[in-house]
Amino acid sequence: MSDDSINVDELMAKIREEVAKRRVYESQPEPMPNHAVTSLPPFSSNWAQLTAMLSQIDQDVDVGTKNLPMVRFSRSYRWLARLFGRVVLYMGEVITKPQRRFNRSVLDALRVTTEGLRRFEQGLSERDRRIALLEQSLMEWGSRIASLEASLNQGLSDRDHRLDGLEQSLKERDNRISGLEASLNQGLSDRDHRLDGLEQSLKERDNRISGLEASLNQGLFDRDHRLDGLEKNIAYLKNSLILQDRRVSILLDEARKRLPGPFNQKQLQVIVNESAHLLDSLYVSFEDEFRGTREEIKGRLRVHLPLLESAKAGKEKRPILDLGCGRGEWLELLQEVGLLARGVDFNSILVEQCRERGLEVIESEMMTFLRKLPEASLGAVTGFHIIEHLSFEILIKLLDETVRVLKPGGIAIFETPNPNNILVGSCNFYLDPTHKKPLPSSMMKFIAEARSLCRVEIMNLHPFPESYRLSGSDLAERMNEYFYGPQDYALIGWKA
């Protein structure tokens, strides 16, 4: 290589220095808005000089591979010199080939770097131009914003003046409203006083009306009570008249039969039998007073319907017989559910009332009627509040006849007051003067089993309402058991 060739290391150092300067500039923070932004400094290198230097380097890359002209030498010397030069050049080419390859690579790299830097500088120039345009736009926007701020400040000032005026108007309105409120409160106070007076007058009137209503209700209650008493008396008198007519008719018939002779034994027995019905109308009135309504009694008796169903009673071949059917509530209930049943009672008035309701009832003394029935002819025998009217001997005979007339699998149901309830055993039982004596359930269970009834059980019924019951201690529970427990029980037995 010749002595006047370009120093590549020096050139590369210069390029690195320029690139470092550019990086330092780009790393500086951008200017704040609303301030002028200084454009990037121009690249300090001269592109024409760099291009000439690269061309010179391109020419000097192959130095040492060509013969230099030798015009100063003679022809023979020139020939020898060329020959020697060729040998030297050939040897130099072999020796400097890697260096020339490296020089060519460095030259190509310098050209690419130079071209990139040129394009980079062009991009920076374009960016500087666009930044200048943005600065111009920002300055215009700043002017517009300043104008808008001035307009806004003027508008806010005008609005503040208007708000001050509105506040003054509101204060005046508040003062007027305060005056109106004071007047309204005064008016309301006066009205409240008047209303208080009216309320007091209304209370006094209500008290007077309440007194009148109480007096009226008491008068109506007394009237209703008197009417009930009159209706019962009328019913009693009506039943008594019917019974007296029946007796008079019987006596007249018997008197006509014996005329002109005296009464015979049969006629005297008819008269004696009729004397047993002297209290029929009184007992009917008694039942109407203390027994309860028909619907209440039917509701209580529904508990026994499943027992009849399990005994298959109420069919044509297993009819039901109700002893002492009374007013016929049980027979009416059986008729409603489609079961075949009939009753027997000794009270002629009750028998007539049952027949008027379409019920099959026989007027007879029940033991007499039972003895006439064939054996194993009934599916069920029932008696509600009957056995407490019987003496102990008749009670035993009743149980024996019941077992006799029942079919196998038939059922007997007898309901009676429960003396385990102290109120019933000590008081309520004796409301009916025809009751003989209370029958404890354990005693009746024993007697029923002793007279051949099977699977005998006691069903406790009709406790006092919950309103009667006490609470709060074991003593209260014991009191409830003894005083407010079941008022009745049913004796239930089956025929084997």
180-234 per-position pLDDT tens digit:
888 888 988 888 888 888 888 888 888 888 888 888 888 888 787 777 766 666 6
DSSP element (H, E) containing 491: strand 486-494
The amino acid sitting at 388 is: E
The mean per-residue pLDDT over the stretch 246-262 comes to 57
Instruction: Sort strands 361-363 and 378-384 into parallel, antiparallel or unpaired.
Output: unpaired
- Describe the strand order of the beta sheet including 341-345 as a list of residue ranges: 361-363, 341-345, 320-323, 378-384, 406-417, 486-494, 454-463
More confident position, 489 or 474: 489
In three state form, how does the secondary structure of 143-181 look? HHHHHHHHHHHHHHHHHHHHHHHHHHHHHHHHHHHHHHH
Residue 275 CA to chain centroid, in angstroms? Answer: 70
Instruction: Sort strands 406-417 and 486-494 into parallel, antiparallel or unpaired.
Output: antiparallel
Report the C-alpha gap between 440 and 423 in whole angstroms.
14
In a domain, 139, yes or no: yes
Q: Which residues contact 252 (CB under 8 A, 6 or more apart)?
A: none
Of the residues 152, 181, 211, which one is the last residue of a structural domain?
152
Of the residues 152, 183, 204, which one is the last residue of a structural domain?
152
Return the pLDDT at 43: 46
Residue 381 β-bridge partners? 321, 412
Whether the predicted pLDDT of 468 surpasses 80: yes
Find where tokens 């004596």 sit.
437
Query: Is residue 452 domain-shared with residue 303, that is, in the same domain?
Result: yes
More confident position, 154 or 111: 154
More confident position, 25 or 11: 11
Whether the predicted pLDDT of 30 surpasses 90: no
- At 162, list the tokens: 């208007």
Q: Give the highest mean pLDDT range of 39-53, 270-284, 286-300, 409-423.
A: 409-423
Whether the predicted pLDDT of 109 surpasses 90: no
Report the C-alpha gap between 440 and 57 in whole angstroms.
145
Domains in the chain, number? 2
Please answer whether residues 43 and 141 qualify as being in contact, where contact means their C-beta atoms are separated by less than 8 angstroms. no
Return the pLDDT at 389: 93
In a domain, 310, yes or no: yes
Of the chain, the percentage scoring pLDDT greater than 70 comes to: 72
Query: Is residue 478 domain-shared with residue 333, that is, in the same domain?
Result: yes
Backbone φ/ψ region at 40: left (φ over 0), alpha (ψ -120 to 50), beta:
beta
Q: How buried is 455 (Cβ within 10 angstroms: 0-12 exposed, 13-18 middle, 19+ buried)?
A: exposed
In a domain, 109, yes or no: yes
Write down the pTM of the prediction.
0.49
Query: Is residue 287 domain-shared with residue 147, that is, in the same domain?
Result: no
Backbone angles phi, psi at 59, to 5 degrees: -75, -30
Whether the predicted pLDDT of 73 surpasses 60: no
In a domain, 259, yes or no: no
Per-residue model confidence as pLDDT tens digits over 370-390: 999 999 999 999 999 999 999
Instruction: For residue 34, name the pLDDT band (cuts at 50, 70, 90).
Output: very low
Return the pLDDT at 32: 45
In a domain, 2, yes or no: no
Report the CATH number at residue 403.
3.40.50.150
Whether the predicted pLDDT of 119 surpasses 80: yes
Please answer whether residues 373 and 406 qualify as being in contact, where contact means their C-beta atoms are separated by less than 8 angstroms. no
Q: Which domain holds residue 96?
A: 8-152
More confident position, 211 or 12: 211
Report the C-alpha gap between 279 and 350 in whole angstroms.
12
Write the CA distances from 253 to 259, 274, 364, integer angstroms.
Answer: 10, 13, 21
More confident position, 283 or 316: 316
- At 207, list the tokens: 């008290």
In a domain, 348, yes or no: yes
In a domain, 434, yes or no: yes
Please answer whether residues 341 and 314 qualify as being in contact, where contact means their C-beta atoms are separated by less than 8 angstroms. yes
Report the C-alpha gap between 376 and 480 in whole angstroms.
43
Whether the predicted pLDDT of 115 surpasses 60: yes
Residue 486 β-bridge partners? 463
Report the C-alpha gap between 121 and 351 in whole angstroms.
136
Of the residues 152, 180, 214, which one is the last residue of a structural domain?
152
Average pLDDT, the chain: 81
In a domain, 54, yes or no: yes
